[in-house]
Amino acid sequence: MFTGIIEAKGKIKSLVNHGDDIRLTVASGKLDMSDVALGDSIATNGVCLTVVDFGHDFYSVDVSSETIKYTGFANYSNGDEVNLEKAMRADTRFGGHIVSGHVDGLGVVESITDHQRYIEVWVKAPDGLAKYIAHKGSITVDGVSLTVNEVKGASFMLWLIPHTLQETIIGQYKKGTKVNLEVDVVARYLERLMLGDKAADAHKSDISMSFLAENGYLK
């Protein structure tokens, strides 16, 4: 489990193909590697990956074809910077929100507007994720825990302060940048719970806007 509070920016040192999988090695930057062990999890641009090799300034992970399919790893190159967060400990401050490191899909940056003290970023999510994105709800973008400030269909808007831009790779975004998205896990559990006894028989979700209205969840 992670919090979405980025600890460091790393840099991709190598991407080596092993059939359908990739061995990824990341220069860990200022990430504290002193307590990292084999088998630990490090969220890399929001993707929970298992450490298979490491040193004082790097770690390596294997990225499966399934992960490549649903994340931006197919578009990464040597030298690209990535957001890093080690798995949270029981005595860690919970400053963000519950982040599993299981990316739901790729979003695309639609626009960036500079407002001097912050920037306004609009991201287009896949249509299938739109129902999980709520005004003032939480969303994870490339591993960063952020608050949704406005929603229009499958697009949502973020306000980003200078600290976030400096400490994460979001400061490098431009129109068309593809980003890893993880929706709030609470929304997914709520959807499943609302199916009730039908959950065991359902092959796909029956939750829709009309279903929510009919059951008193919308006014």
The answer to whether residues 136 and 197 belong to one domain is: no
The answer to whether residues 134 and 177 belong to one domain is: yes
Could you tell me the residue range of the domain that residue 153 belongs to?
Answer: 105-183
- pLDDT (tens digit per residue) in 60-93: 999 999 999 889 998 999 999 999 999 998 777 7
Q: Does residue 1 lie within any of the structural domains?
A: no
The answer to whether residues 59 and 82 belong to one domain is: yes
Q: Does residue 92 lie within any of the structural domains?
A: no
The answer to whether residues 62 and 119 belong to one domain is: no
**pTM of the prediction?**
0.87
Q: Output the domain CATH number for residue 16.
A: 2.40.30.20
Q: Which residues contact 217 (CB under 8 A, 6 or more apart)?
A: none
Element holding 193 (H helix, E strand): helix 185-194
The answer to whether residues 126 and 148 belong to one domain is: yes
Spatial separation of the C-alpha atoms in residues 138 and 89, rounded to whole Å: 21
The answer to whether residues 179 and 205 belong to one domain is: no
Q: Does residue 111 lie within any of the structural domains?
A: yes
Round the CA-based radius of gyration of the chain to a whole number and report it.
Answer: 18
Nearest one of 122, 125, 124 to 113, comparing CA atoms: 122
The answer to whether residues 62 and 113 belong to one domain is: no
Nearest one of 92, 84, 159 to 123, comparing CA atoms: 159
Query: Cα 203 to the chain's mean position, in Å?
Result: 26
Mean pLDDT of the chain: 91
Q: Does residue 3 lie within any of the structural domains?
A: no
pLDDT for the residue numbered 7: 97
Going by pLDDT thresholds of 50, 70 and 90, the confidence category of residue 211 is low
One-letter identity of residue 205: S
Q: Does residue 162 lie within any of the structural domains?
A: yes
